[in-house]
Amino acid sequence: MISKQSAYGAESEAVRALGPHRLAPAPIPAYLQNTYWWAYLHPRAVHIFERQWLVNLILWGNFARLRNAALAEMGEVINGRVLQVACVYGDFTEHLVRRLGPQGSIDVIDVAPIQINNLHAKLKLAGADSERVNALLQDSSDLHFADASHDDVVVFFLLHEMPTEVRRKTVAEALRVTKPGGKLIFVDYHKPRAWSPFRYLMVPILTTLEPFAMDVWNNGIASWLPDGAAVAKLEKKTYFGGLYQKVVVTKAA
Ligand SMILES: C[S@@+](CC[C@H](N)C(=O)[O-])C[C@H]1O[C@@H](n2cnc3c(N)ncnc32)[C@H](O)[C@@H]1O
């Protein structure tokens, strides 16, 4: 049986294993410990969930489609500096890395040491160039990057897991570090259309397992942008009867 306590014990193991990546780890946010410890913090959870078929099943077969829709926004070849905000189970980052051109680099941040460790293992297996792919322990609501430090920023299925205030800060931080003219790409849940059975089927699932997710159904992602945000363009596309959305914010030049 997975217990919360052993999840925390395993985390300190993970922090120790990080070596140089231990630098100034951010504390694990309370919502992550209390609500999602079983999904992201416990080593057995990583063992269970880090399976491509399972993450694809959780997204009703849409993982590759949504991953590719997010990555396509950055182009076939990435020659700038990209930030992925939070680790993702499955092969999202491996596919991001495959697009790296000779001048490109990728930073991936996550607040959970065990997730950063897991990413290191995945990237090593995928033979990623460790010089140009950095996995860093940071909290998305308090990024340790300069303003306008990244050409594009991608946030894949993170916002629905956050309480409103953290979500608001995460969106503001992601926009802050995006360069003028760069893209901030969100993929997340969305309220399905009235005819979709998922409009009804997903409510008990999300309200039981993901207490903040209905916020993302009921409000547009634009509503968490800071007041007066420097936005040149905001494009939204929905998928799978509206259960998922991609929102691309282009920062004003
Ligand atoms: C991107 S979200 C969910 C992605 C998707 N459901 C999946 O299959 O992985 C999960 C990640 O967000 C991370 N996370 C949650 N809150 C965070 C925060 N405030 N800062 C950085 N990472 C955070 C968790 O540690 C976890 O690795």
Q: Is the CB of 112 under 6 A from ligand 1?
A: yes
Q: Is the CB of 202 under 6 A from ligand 1?
A: no
For residue 156, the ligand 1 atom closest to its alpha carbon is: 1
The torsion angle over the Cα atoms of residues 235, 241, 245 and 247, rounded to 10 degrees, is 0
Q: Is the CB of 32 under 6 A from ligand 1?
A: yes
Tokens for 35? 């609500």
158 Cα: distance to centroid of ligand 1 (angstroms): 5
The reported pLDDT for the residue numbered 84 is 98
CATH code at position 123: 3.40.50.150
Contact at 8 Å (CB) between 206 and 89?
Answer: no
For residue 155, the ligand 1 atom closest to its alpha carbon is: 1
What is the rounded distance in angstroms from the CA atom of residue 196 to the CA atom of residue 190? 12
pTM: 0.91
Q: Is the CB of 151 under 6 A from ligand 1?
A: no
The reported pLDDT for the residue numbered 10 is 38
Q: Which helix (H) or strand (E) holds 76?
A: none
What is the rounded distance in angstroms from the CA atom of residue 137 to the CA atom of residue 178? 19
Question: Which amino acid, one-letter code, is at 112?
Answer: A
Tokens for 101? 């051109």
What is the rounded distance in angstroms from the CA atom of residue 14 to the CA atom of residue 16? 5
Residues 6 or more apart whose Cβ sits within 8 Å of residue 31: 161, 162, 163, 166, 212
What is the rounded distance in angstroms from the CA atom of residue 14 to the CA atom of residue 33? 15
Measure CA 73 to chain center: 15
Instruction: State which of 42, 136, 161, 212 you would mutate to test the pocket of ligand 1, scoring each by most atoms of that ligand within 8 A of its C-beta.
Output: 161
End-to-end CA separation in angstroms for the chain? 52
Q: Is the CB of 158 under 6 A from ligand 1?
A: yes
Closest CA to 248 of 141, 175, 143: 175
**Ligand 1 atom 8: residue of nearest CA:** 89
Average pLDDT of each block of 10 consecutive residues along the chain (253 residues)? 35 42 73 96 94 98 98 97 98 96 96 96 84 94 98 98 98 98 98 96 94 96 96 98 98 95
Domain that holds residue 135: 4-251
Q: Is the CB of 188 under 6 A from ligand 1?
A: no
Question: Which amino acid, one-letter code, is at 11?
Answer: E
211 Cα: distance to centroid of ligand 1 (angstroms): 15
The domain tally of the chain equals 1
For residue 31, the ligand 1 atom closest to its alpha carbon is: 16
Q: Is the CB of 86 under 6 A from ligand 1?
A: yes
Q: Is the CB of 143 under 6 A from ligand 1?
A: no
